[in-house]
Amino acid sequence: MISKNQLKKFLRDGLSDLEISAKTGESKKVVFNARKKYGLLTDEEMASIFKTRRKIIKGGLITFALIGVGGAIGGVVYESKRPITYEDALRDERKRQTHIEHIVRGKIPPYVLSVRYATPRLLEELAKHDYVPSKEVFADTIPVEMIEKDETWEPIKPEQIGKGAKSIIVIYNSVYDWYAKFPELERKYPRSELYKDMEIVLKNVLLRNEFTDAKHFSLGIEGYPIESFKDSNGNVNYRLFNMVTDLLSNAEEYKGVIAEPRTSKSQYLQYYTDGLKKMVVAHHILLSDPQLTRNMDMDFMQRLRKDFEPRKILNQ
């Protein structure tokens, strides 16, 4: 195992994770995890870690997974005379883009460029920009700028947040292979009912959670312009901004699922909303974390904690 002092010396010498890996014989992943453990990540890496989050709920238990975004590269469109259901899309990958389009049709806001299923081609495009999603992530929202000369895109720079950026949203395979990963769900709940529940989950992930993230990346947080997140050194605390957007988007998803008539009768959806509520509370607690709030004005932080108190934003 690499020691903290070793890492500090390597970083002072300007070595990359790959170079440190070559010197120590440890894998690049081990080097990164060691830097994370010892608090030696860059601000950009920390901002990425605190980006939009997705929750995985398994029989009422919740685990946390990071979230990202997709590009304007289309998947295969499968035409049908009736709306494609979650079950249809689960059984036939060719139908997934059409399923997503049925959900968002007529509802895409102006700050969202496209909503796409993560085809292998799209995943390759994401990898070119260093976006490698977790296997358990449902969706990602990536604010981008279009490069008109070759019709490609680049992720925006942090300083462009809140200044009109538009986002690409990607839905990953993980939302459709849920039962292969967690067969205990099907043992606990009827399969046909779970498919209907997941239809509601995906709908609210998109329309409530990811669209809310895209709104904040484009317009900022109402009442909290991006400049208000500056610390005592005059630097914008993007990690803190991302944490607040996560809190708000999870709250919006919670309210969306709770409002569904089916939720009051579905044990799984009740577990799911309980997990969302816990996510909101966890994010609110982090607004008091010294690592996240270092050098921030305490009056500003108190206002954040008060304005975004869980019971208030969850309408409870």
Question: DSSP of the chain, one letter per residue?
Answer: ---HHHHHHHHHTT--HHHHHHHH---HHHHHHHHHHTT---HHHHHHHTS-EEEEEETTEEEEEE-----S--------SSPPPHHHHHH-GGGHHHHHHHHHTTT--TTEEEEEE--HHHHHHHHHTT----TT--EEEEEEEEETTTTEEEEPPGGGTTTT-EEEEEE-GGGTSHHHH-HHHHHHS-HHHHHHHHHHHHHHIIIIIIHHHHHHHHH-BTTB-GGGGB-TTS-B-HHHHHHHHHHHHHHHHHHHHHTSGGGGG-HHHHHHHHHHHHHHHHHHHHTT-HHHHTT--HHHHHHHHHHT-HHHHTT-
* Whether residue 261 sits in one domain with residue 133: yes
* Whether residue 148 sits in one domain with residue 67: yes
* Whether residue 145 sits in one domain with residue 233: yes
**Tally of domains in the chain:** 2
Residue 210: its pLDDT value, please? Answer: 97
* Whether residue 105 sits in one domain with residue 28: no
Q: CA 297, 301, 305: angle at the middle one, nearest 5?
A: 175
Listed range (23-37, 103-117, 217-231) with the worst mean pLDDT: 23-37
Highest mean pLDDT among 19-33, 63-77, 291-305: 291-305
* Whether residue 258 sits in one domain with residue 118: yes
| Under 8 Å between Cβ of 100 and 203 | no
Answer whether 0.85 is exceeded by the pTM: no
* Whether residue 224 sits in one domain with residue 306: yes
* Whether residue 35 sits in one domain with residue 128: no
* Whether residue 101 sits in one domain with residue 240: yes
* Whether residue 97 sits in one domain with residue 9: no
* Tens digit of each residue's pLDDT (9 = 90 or more) over 58-117: 333 222 222 233 333 333 344 446 789 999 999 999 999 999 999 999 999 999 999 999
Please determine, for residue 35, whether its predicted confidence score (pLDDT) is greater than 70: yes
Residue 221: its pLDDT value, please? Answer: 96
* Whether residue 55 sits in one domain with residue 37: no
| Residue 304 lies in domain | 48-313
Please, which pLDDT band fits residue 131 given cuts at 50, 70 and 90?
confident
Scan for tokens 């920390």, then name that residue.
46
Please determine, for residue 306, whether its predicted confidence score (pLDDT) is greater than 80: yes
